[in-house]
Structure 1
Amino acid sequence: MSRTSQRSAFRLLAGMILPVYRSLTVPHWRGQENFPAEGGFVAVANHLTEIDPITVAYPLYKAGIMPRFLAKESLFRVPVMGTIITRIGQVPVYRGTSRAKDSLRAARAELDSGGAIIVYPEGTITRDPGMWPMRGRTGAARLALEASVPVVPMAHWGDQEVLYRDPEGHRTFSAWPRKTVDGIIGEPLTPEDLVPGGLQRPGHPSAEELAHATEVVMAAVSHLLGQLRGETPPEQLFDPRAPRTGEAGTVGNAGGSVAP
């Protein structure tokens, strides 16, 4: 598939989803000129809440790029939803199974055809108490480095005013008034930006190279989010896999409060 394939299916889906989304939010994105005019790329973004996929897909769709996500495989088995997301070319992720590499192969094929793959490097909604990005997983960096395509960092702020999940998992929903959602698209990060000097083995990044590239990606996303919030992001990103020794980040007032 190319970045414009399945346009009619996307238009049908957007015609159903976007009116509801626009009834809840007023999205403002800047930096659309940073989407590469041609060729495949990996878009990465912070993850605030369950409506983020619509928010992040919105500027790509408006730019004529049909957005495709790496999505949990379980979603493809949900009646109706599974059929829809399969039809529009979303890529299932088989975590912790023998089919885990199938996801990367499918995503690589999309990139090789000039398409765009959206990845949440954190792998889940942030659990940072200040709602800053957490430490990332290496999948986005691996895709970009193996396919030799750029990474486009994105950040958004405001979704949490509509649907908020606290660290204990409790959710609150606010439909009115409409919430402003601000977003920014950063300049593309080339493979050379991710690993200065290039890979030791082209097309085969090492664990150390993947770790460094992932840090570069997450630093870019955090920096963009800091611009939106008018705050300085934490020097050390929250690591959900490490023992908790204290809270990382603070909740600021820029962009609205994060709790109702």
Structure 2
Amino acid sequence: MRIALAQINTAGNISENIEKVERYVTESVVGGADVVVFPEATMVAFGNDLGAAADTYIKEWRTHLSALAQDNNVWIIAGEFENTDNRVRNIAGVYSPEGMHEGYAKIHLYDAFGFSESETVEPGESPLVVQVGDRKVGFAICYDIRFPKLFAELSRAGAELIVVPTSWGSGPGKVEQWEVLGRARALDSNSYVVALGQADPSVSGVNAVEGAPTGVGHSYVSDPFGKVIAKLGEGEELQIIDLSFDKTEKAKESLPVLKNAKLGY
């Protein structure tokens, strides 16, 4: 599987965000990518009115991305928001080359480090595993990466790769935590982990809302043994990598943590 890691910054203008996604998809397809991964909140960045954006633009957004995936014969994974009765759901949108859409709603909301995501976002309830080509892919979003049982559940459901679109909040020690957590979750689940975050807006020059989790960059891919096999910097960047899934089988044989687990823990 050839995966494009599209570490970008988005802002409050959805049309401009769509144009940026289109540029990165086009470049990824030229590079032979089968899957293009974008961050959490790709549709609209945190700190903006998520409900208004979802109400006004979600149909246009999904129409554009469905057509983009279909026209380019590529899978696209990107963060988006959809309205519920009172709040929005934080979604990892999954767009297939057939133009079909599925979505994982973020289960663990970021009520931490002085930010209260639950004030505007309604939590999801169910994990999601999708057949992508001949591989099963699981999904988590940002703060989910701190909860090992979700990753174990995705692995038990057959996921060999877990994609984590993220808009990581900045602060002392946060980059180090981000780098450690995905590697640990790969070890927990015998899976590849693609930890793909928004770039650091102070580096990329994109205007960001102060106090909102708007990205630190440093996206990476961990193999099932916790080794980082691809790493990005702080600014906007595109990197294309190839994954060989024989490592997932080797990890399950040599380090069968899920098989050895007691009482499901």
TM-score (norm: length of structure 2): 0.37
Q: Which has the higher strand share?
A: 2
Question: Which structure has more RCO (C-alpha within 8 Å, separation ≥ 6)?
Answer: 1
